[in-house]
Amino acid sequence: MINRAVLVGRLTRDPDLKYTASGAAVASFTLAVNRQFTNRQGEREADFINCVIWRKPAENFANFTHKGSLVGIDGRIQTRSYENQQGTRVYVTEIVVDNFSLLESKLQSEQYRQQHAGDQSFNPAANSSSNANNNGFTGNQATKSPNPSKQNQQVKNNSGDPFADSGQQIDISDDDLPF
């Protein structure tokens, strides 16, 4: 059986971090994910998907994300039910997150947040449509490295070939291959 969900979207609100009676951290949030098509008015619609993340990853997620953050998540779909105060059975379907990735730099995230700070009709999914093809990356982003020469090498090697211009020759024999 396969039950995997991989989503890229923006948080509609700050993650809600709580702790269970046994001390386990749990964070819940809603992810706005753009649909691949537009409606008749030419507007891009979004799905708002409830997600939950547990333990240490939940604490990290709550510390490093906020409303409007562009994130990627990997998890599984789970359906649960409970009985509300009126005695009615309520069914909840959500994504239980196993892994997440922050898809924009802290600077980009803060700029996005400032641009939409006073926007009462804040729809994070509508504004992520401009990033639909590149998920917020600008192409030549290099990670911060304490060694500037290594940082330049990372920018230079952004061609997709991890061995290009590395300055090292790689010697691989047929015995090293797994097939």
Over 80: is that where the pLDDT of 44 sits? Answer: yes
**What element of type H or E holds 111?**
helix 106-115
Break the chain into its structural domains and give their ranges.
Answer: 5-135, 140-166
Alpha-carbon distance of 147 to 102, in angstroms, equals: 23
Tell me the pLDDT of the chain averaged across its residues: 76
Alpha-carbon distance of 73 to 39, in angstroms, equals: 26
Which of the four pLDDT bands, split at 50, 70 and 90, describes residue 156? very low
Q: What number does CATH give the domain 5-135?
A: 2.40.50.140
Amino acid residing at 166? S
Read off the tokens for 67: 């409303």
- Checking DSSP bridges between strand 89-102 and strand 44-54, what pairing results, if any? parallel
Q: Can you give the pTM of this predicted structure?
A: 0.61
* Share above pLDDT 70 across residues of the chain, in percent, rounded to a whole number: 64
Residue 102 CB neighbours (<10 A): 16
